[in-house]
Structures are given as structure tokens and as C-alpha cells.
């Protein structure tokens, strides 16, 4: 991605997050909205940590068995990205973060990513 595309993406996400926070704050109240944002950050960090430890154990097991842990590495990266998104204040980033952290949705995202990169790389295996 070029710098301009990244700049526009971050600017657009920030503006959308601010609009959603203002809307939620006007409907639920400022204090409840702040508590909700803090709760998702704390819960998300805890859940990302527990999922991260599980992935690390799975990674060690696969390596000790002589297996290539490509799926596990992708899931670990998704957990890391999900954790960062959950620590970022906002409801849109929280939604994406939870998608990357919960195992059923994380596996779907992993498979979509693998299919995307297979198409992009177009590797021929003998």
C-alpha cells in the first residue's frame, strides 16, 4: 500500500470511530460509553493473552513433531493484530479485533487470507 492509501485509511477509520463514539455516547451516556470502551480493552487484552498462550503452546507442539506450523503462525499474527485493535479505543476496531481473536471467526479469516495469498502468489508446486 502506498503512503497515501494508508493515510486515507487511518484518517477514515479515525473519523468513523469518532462518529460512532459520539453517537453511542449520546444514546447511552458519556460515562457508560467510556466504561464500555475500557471494558472491551481490558477484556480484549486478557482474551488475546490467553489465546496467544494457546497458540504458542500449539506452535511448540507442532515444531517438536517436525511439522511446519503455517496455520498456527497465521493465527498468532491475527491474535496480535486483534489485540492491538482491541486496545485501540473505538467500537469499529473492537469489532474487528474480536473477529481476529475468537477462534471460529479467526479460522475463517485465516482461510480467507490463505486463499487470497495463494491467488496473489500463484505458486506452482511440483
Q: What is the pLDDT of residues 34-78, one digit of tens each?
A: 999 999 999 988 999 999 999 999 999 999 998 888 899 999 999
Residue 117 pLDDT: 85
The answer to whether the predicted template modeling score (pTM) of the entire model surpasses 0.95 is no
Please report, rounded to a whole number, the percentage of residues in the chain having pLDDT higher than 90.
Answer: 74
Q: Are 86 and 45 in contact (CB under 8 A)?
A: yes
Mean pLDDT value of segment 7-36:
95
Task: Tell me the pLDDT band of 126, cut-offs 50, 70 and 90.
Answer: low
Sign of the dihedral defined by the CA atoms of residues 116, 117, 122, 125, in that order: negative
Q: Are 14 and 93 in contact (CB under 8 A)?
A: no
Q: Are 71 and 110 in contact (CB under 8 A)?
A: yes
Amino acid at each position: 500500500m502506498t503512503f497515501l492509501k494508508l493515510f486515507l485509511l487511518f484518517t477514515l477509520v479515525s473519523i468513523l470511530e469518532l462518529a460512532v463514539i459520539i453517537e453511542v455516547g449520546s444514546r447511552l451516556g458519556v460515562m457508560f460509553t467510556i466504561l464500555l470502551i475500557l471494558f472491551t480493552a481490558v477484556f480484549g487484552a486478557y482474551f488475546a493473552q490467553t489465546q496467544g498462550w494457546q497458540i504458542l503452546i500449539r506452535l511448540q507442539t507442532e515444531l517438536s513433531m517436525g511439522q511446519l506450523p503455517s496455520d498456527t503462525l497465521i493465527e498468532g499474527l491475527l491474535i496480535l493484530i486483534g489485540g492491538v485493535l482491541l486496545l485501540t479505543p473505538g467500537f469499529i476496531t473492537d469489532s474487528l479485533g474480536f473477529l481476529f481473536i475468537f477462534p471460529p471467526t479467526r479460522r475463517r479469516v485465516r482461510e480467507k487470507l490463505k486463499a487470497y495469498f495463494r491467488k496473489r502468489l500463484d505458486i506452482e508446486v511440483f
